[in-house]
Amino acid sequence: MPDWLNTYKAKLKEAERILHDCETLLRENGIDCPIQQPPVAPKDKIWLPSGYIRTANHFRRAYQLPPSIHDLSTRNNIAYALQFTDFLSYIVGRFNLGDFTVGNVFYRTATAHVVSIIESILCGLVKTVHDHCIRNEAVCNKASSCDYYLKSPNKYNFSQLLDAIADHGIYQFSDADKATLLELKGIRDRFHMWDTGTSDFHDDQFDVRNYNKAMVALHQVRDEVINAFRTRQAQQVFGCSKDTPQPA
């Protein structure tokens, strides 16, 4: 093991000890955490390391959001949500949630957040294509015979959305990729605690493995979307606009 890693691990344990000492100090002085909190100004609290959370502009560039997603609000929401994944990675990489039930809830929330970004990227991509097909607030009258036409993303369920993107030649999902995305979407959709039929606290779907699986899927989607814009076919797809002739 390299020396720097030994030093790093020792500093993590030092930080752990200091945090535990802080809580002991509060209890000894009558602060009933987490119900109560000490009167500490924001400037006196722990700051995340400078630069760890990457900027929204970084993610706009890294995910090529302006060319792939035309809707400003959608791409801003995606960029800010991607910033939060940096914070999630900080917690995952620094804290041992162990067998605490809060760990299951954390990974449930974190995984759902990442999958919602994937879903937003794919839906935003489809909306970009669909918006090219709108003429005078209505779908182009040649849509039914146009190879470029995609319906509005809210007209598809998630499986249909994946098929539409693949059929359109934008992103060719392998069977394994599609199965993974559908599995993750199933986890994402179990957001309503009253309607799951199982206990989230004992569900092995909510762990670091599926969080990491979601992050890998997110990066694959990012790479595929970027690659799509480098192909002639995708340039033709996204070149189909209000200012260019429509296919017969």
Does residue 34 have a cis peptide bond before it, meaning omega lies within 30 degrees of 0? yes
pLDDT at residue 242 greater than cutoff 50: no
- Prediction pTM value: 0.88
Residues 132, 121: Cα–Cα separation, whole Å: 17
pLDDT at residue 237 greater than cutoff 60: no
* Residue 132 shares a structural domain with residue 71: yes
* Residue 116 shares a structural domain with residue 217: yes
* Residue 59 shares a structural domain with residue 139: yes
Report whether 56 contacts 80 (CB < 8 A).
yes
Give pLDDT tens digits for 49-59: 999 999 999 99
* Residue 89 shares a structural domain with residue 132: yes
What does the pLDDT read at residue 73? 95
Q: What is the percent of the chain where pLDDT is above 90?
A: 59
* Residue 24 shares a structural domain with residue 93: no
pLDDT at residue 74 greater than cutoff 90: yes
* Residue 32 shares a structural domain with residue 74: no
Residue in 89, 40, 57 with CA at minimum distance from that of residue 66: 57
* Residue 221 shares a structural domain with residue 102: yes
pLDDT at residue 142 greater than cutoff 90: no
How many structural domains is the chain composed of? Answer: 2
Report whether 129 contacts 238 (CB < 8 A).
yes
DSSP 144: G
Report whether 170 contacts 126 (CB < 8 A).
no
Report whether 68 contacts 128 (CB < 8 A).
yes
Q: Could you list the residue range(s) of the whole structural domain that residue 79 is in?
A: 51-239
pLDDT at residue 236 greater than cutoff 70: no
Least confident of 24-38, 134-148, 227-241: 227-241
- The residue that leads in pLDDT, 190 or 176, is 176
* Residue 29 shares a structural domain with residue 79: no
- The residue that leads in pLDDT, 44 or 198, is 44
Is 248 part of a structural domain of the chain? no
Residue in 101, 121, 148 with CA at minimum distance from that of residue 221: 121
What does the pLDDT read at residue 243? 47
